Amino acid sequence: MKQKLIIGFSLVLLLLVVFLMWKDFYRSKSKVQNNPFEYNIDNLKNIDPDLITYKEVSQLKPDIEDLIAIAIDKKDHIYLTGKNKVIIYKDNSLVSSFNIDSTAYSINISSNEDVYLGILDHIVIYDKNGKQKTKWKAINENSVITSIASTEESVFVADAGNKIVYQYDLNGKIINEIGKKDTLKGIPGFIIPSPYFDLLIGIHGKLWVVNPGRHAFENYDFEGNLISTWERTSMQLEGFSGCCNPSNIAMLSDGSFVTSEKGLERIKVHSPSGDFKSVVAGPDIFEEGTKGLDLAVDTKDRIYVLDPIKKAVRIFEKK
């Protein structure tokens, strides 16, 4: 009898322990689910309408597969690249198009209207009528060309694979490497976790390069000296977050930067010194997960956003 009582008591005690463990498990699970310190990115998608100072006025729907890159020349011709093709528009009307041998992932239009295309590891140059003029030698097997900018004397190429900016002369010879880490010169080196690495020639004729892993903008002279830099790391509107943002940039006539981001799809305007100015477009108008929002600005400061998911170029004007 005594043995039966001991067994019964032990069984009740075991059931009590199991119950307490179950209760503690689900209480802990509930606490995790309601963690007050958990960062909710959905809150960042809600933008004060007063901060959005642009409106979408029209769209281009080009007949091109895999819409990838955009550039605008000084006459406001719009050049678009995609799979094996370049399309040219003017005032939202199709002007011409031409086929290319490979897919161009970056494009720049020179002052004499030559079309510079980044084809993975090398540059190919066409005239505006689609005739190939020359093909430059590939850099190396690691090269991934993501952006091109040109002056009357040089061509600058952002290479995400080699994490460097190459300066070419107009004959296709590399004459300088810009942005390589140099502690004596105060150059931190580029952090490029993914193939988003943009650059442009600013209104004062200096080179601006995004250092996306640092959420920074770096200003260089053509000898490769770092002139200035600004950095904004924040998930709030005033900055950039994630592994590599901003993903793409353009510049307005007053020197302000237009920026696009991935992860949290936003188009914004920052002052030349980096301070946040306004929003062009928020995440609500893009498909979640949209990447590669390439940017361009025309002579009227209209902002062109290449939306690869919607296969459209979306045009914004100041309200």
pTM for the whole structure:
0.87
Contact 218, 227 (CB under 8 A): no
From CA 152, how far away is CA 166, in angstroms rounded? 16
User: Is it true that the peptide bond before 246 is cis, omega within 30 degrees of 0?
Assistant: yes
Chain CA centroid to CA 184, Å: 29
pLDDT in tens, 243-272: 999 999 999 999 999 999 999 999 999 999
Are 113 and 105 spatial neighbours (Cβ–Cβ below 8 Å)?
no
Task: For residue 192, give the nearest of 259, 141, 146 by alpha carbon.
Answer: 146
pLDDT digits 0-9 by tens, 183-216: 999 999 999 999 999 999 999 999 999 999 999 9
Residues 139 and 167 sit within 8 Å (Cβ to Cβ): no
d(CA 7, CA 14): 10
Q: Is 157 left (phi over 0), alpha (psi -120 to 50) or beta?
A: beta
- pLDDT number for residue 45: 78
- Of 180, 249, 184, nearest to 212 (Cα)? 249
The whole-chain average pLDDT of the chain stands at: 90
Nearest to 280 by CA among 44, 70, 53: 53
pLDDT one digit per residue (tens) for the chain, 319 residues? 545 444 554 554 445 444 544 444 444 334 334 444 334 566 777 899 999 999 999 999 999 989 999 999 999 999 999 999 999 999 889 999 999 999 999 999 999 999 999 999 999 999 999 999 999 999 999 999 999 999 999 999 999 999 999 999 999 999 999 999 999 999 999 999 999 999 999 999 999 999 999 999 999 999 999 999 999 999 999 999 999 999 999 999 999 999 999 999 999 999 999 999 999 999 999 999 999 999 999 999 999 999 999 999 999 999 9
Closest to 108 (Cα-Cα) out of 131, 86, 141, 93: 86
